[in-house]
Chains A and B, each alone.
Chain A
Amino acid sequence: MGSILGDLPSFDPHNFSHFRPSDPSNPSKMTPTTYHPTHSRTIPPPDQVITTESKNILIRNFYRRAEEKMRPKRAASEFLAQEPGCKQPRASMTTSDTP
């Protein structure tokens, strides 16, 4: 048959008799289905490396609690004078100022 796989034995030599292997000189008209992303919001950073955290979950919890305790509490006066731009803009589902 002249395929890449060669003349391998089979149960019935008439199997695959209609099969035509893809010929590089005659490109197939069918392209396989491919999927492309429609946005670039979720692309990982190019230098991202995923590794296992060396600290186990128990030790991570100890550190997290310690960080919470060690973070100095802000005085009450500081809470009142907050910058206006510190909140994230929320994607609005409905318009807020409809008459």
Chain B
Amino acid sequence: MFRSSNVAARIFERQIRTPAPGTSVHRARLFYENMVPSHTIYDVECPDYSFRKFTEDGRYLISFSRNNQDLIVYRPRWLSFCCKEENCMHDLPQKAKKFESFFTELYTVSLASGNEQICKDCFLYLESNQFGVFVTSTALLHDAPSSGEAVPGIPSIDKITFHLLRLEDGDVLDKKVFHNDFITFNHNVGVFLYDDLLAIVSLRFQTIHILQIRDSGNLVDVRAIGTFCREDDELFLNSNAQYMPVSDQSQLHSENHVETCAHQNQLYQNSSFLSGIKQRLLSFIFRAIWNEESDDAQRVQSLKKKFYFHFQDYVDLIILKVQFLDRHHLLMKFGSVDGVLSVSRNADQQPAFFAVYNMETTEIVAFYQNSAEELYLFFEMFCDHFHPHSKNSPHMNFISSHSNNIHAFEQLRGIKKKPNFQFLKKMLGSLPFSCQSQNPSPYFDQSLFRYDEKLISATDRPRPSTDHPIKFTTRREQYAHKFKIKSGPEAGSTDGRAKKISSFLFHPFLPLTLSIQQTPISQPSQPSINIHFRK
């Protein structure tokens, strides 16, 4: 887009030429080719906290104490110092090696007490109000006593609390507590935030709780999809309780007052009703198979083969993960109970299904198996629409994907030789997407830089550490090396045998990166933190 790669020439050109329509953000991002975090400060002296992530607007750095009970929020600022000579070309002062030169501690809040711990991997940020959602939970119980409503085989957590914090000052605005439940927290799997709607998947009770985060800071229940789909289903079933079998009626009359909704649900469980969402799903599958054939006799045959033969498998499906497609539609992943705690490697072996559900009409719109070619075609053509567009975080819409970036698309084409079964399952295994799991930093923009995706990528997960630095080269000028990111000590690690993992925290828009190298949990030691920035 610019004729020259020189930054002064680019600034002048920016004054006199307007960009092509719709590309003003892309043109602004081109300047990141000139401003790179090329200088590294190794082994920064920093407090013993686990640094988790920058918020998407770059205002805060979220970190947790080692005992996972306190939240410490920092504000990123730049290193500043003064020197006596006129031309300060000498090295950085000693204070550059201090963490506090780059970050100011804003406050510390104690979120968890007693035997609770903060779930480090689960954090959501609402940019419009600068609210943060944090989760604390007690320990996991694998052999949980099964209550009537809970799915057997899923562990239980005594108390899970969702905290809504205003990050400006650390005030806890609201809390929502779940008892004897199980929600997957790794990498935001069990939660999804879209605009002001928060979806929480309760695996144990097979309910999707939709909450709204109000501007006033309240977490308001919108609906709970699972046993009931519409808000008044429960009322309707209650008022028609006279038609229930006699044994259930006596149970109903013996209860003087019903405490929780779960208690009432127990009655319906005994009366062998399937949950509302399951009924919607089964009826959709039934109707789809029914409409495939035109002849009545063939319809019955088809139903026997495809529906009734697998009926129990369909009934045993549980909701594993959910994401919003827009304010009314959810993309749900169904699977078996074994898929709950299985490692992602084995997840490919498990059968899984996807369903699109409309919350307003309570209808299932689509149902696919995880190897469906049709769903893969949608994924290939409309990948960006699986990340719902949020007007509150516009810069999150520029994260490179194969739908908006030619280089990512060519990469996909490269690995796709023929859409066979395994390939489809692997690609659709990333659905539904987890929210806020990708870094919006322009250094991950595939049209600007090329880097080794196995060693570093926009998805913030820790990766195995390497001794050699990770190189970022520009796309425009072939192999023009721009900067390197190296985690760990400058001279490389002395202990060659210990496997280390690195995680990288890129600031969303400043040329500032933290690389954290640590040994796995089995051999804990002080992590080594490097700061990479533009000097």
Contacts and interface: CB of A to CB of B under 8 A. Distances in A.
A66 B366 contact: yes
Given A58-B382, A61-B382, A73 B326 contact: no
A49 B441 CA distance: 41
Contacts of B329: 59
Contact of A58 (B287, B290, B294, B325): B325
**Max count, chain B CB within 10 A of own CB: residue among A58, A65, A72, A75:** A58
A97 to B, nearest CB: 38
Contact of A70 (B291, B326, B374, B385): B291
Nearest to B389: A56
Contact of A63 (B288, B292, B365): B365
B255 interface: no
Contacts of A61: 378, 382
A59 B326 contact: yes
Given A65-B374, A74-B294, A59 B287 contact: no
B291 A76 contact: no
B250 to A, nearest CB: 42
Interface of A is mostly: helix
B291 A55 contact: no
B171 interface: no
Nearest to A76: B294
A71 interface: yes
A34 B288 CA distance: 56
B293 interface: yes
B102 interface: no
Interface residues of A, number: 18
A73 B288 contact: no
B91 interface: no
Contacts of A71: 291
Contact of A56 (B290, B294, B385): B385
Nearest to A58: B385
Given A57-B385, A58-B386, A59-B325, A70 B288 contact: yes
Interface string B370-395: 00001000100010011001000000
Given A56-B385, A57-B385, A75-B295, A62 B356 contact: yes
Contacts of A87: none
Nearest to B374: A65
Contacts of A72: 290-291, 294
Nearest to A63: B365
Contacts of B382: 57-58, 61
A71 B382 CA distance: 25
A57 to B, nearest CB: 6
Contacts of B378: 58, 61-62
Contacts of B389: 56
Contacts of B374: 65
A69 interface: yes
B366 A62 contact: yes
B356 A59 contact: yes
B288 A56 contact: no
Interface in B265-300: 287-288, 290-295
Contact of B288 (A58, A62, A69, A74): A69
B287 A70 contact: yes
Interface string A21-65: 000000000000000000000000000000000011111011101
Nearest to B384: A58
B326 A55 contact: yes
Nearest to B386: A58
A25 to B, nearest CB: 46
Contacts of A56: 325-326, 385, 389
Nearest to A61: B378
A65 B354 CA distance: 15
B365 A66 contact: yes
10 contacts: A56-B325, A56-B385, A58-B378, A59-B326, A59-B365, A59-B385, A61-B378, A61-B382, A69-B291, A73-B292
Give 4 closest A-B pairs by Cβ, nearest first.
A58-B385, A73-B294, A58-B382, A75-B294
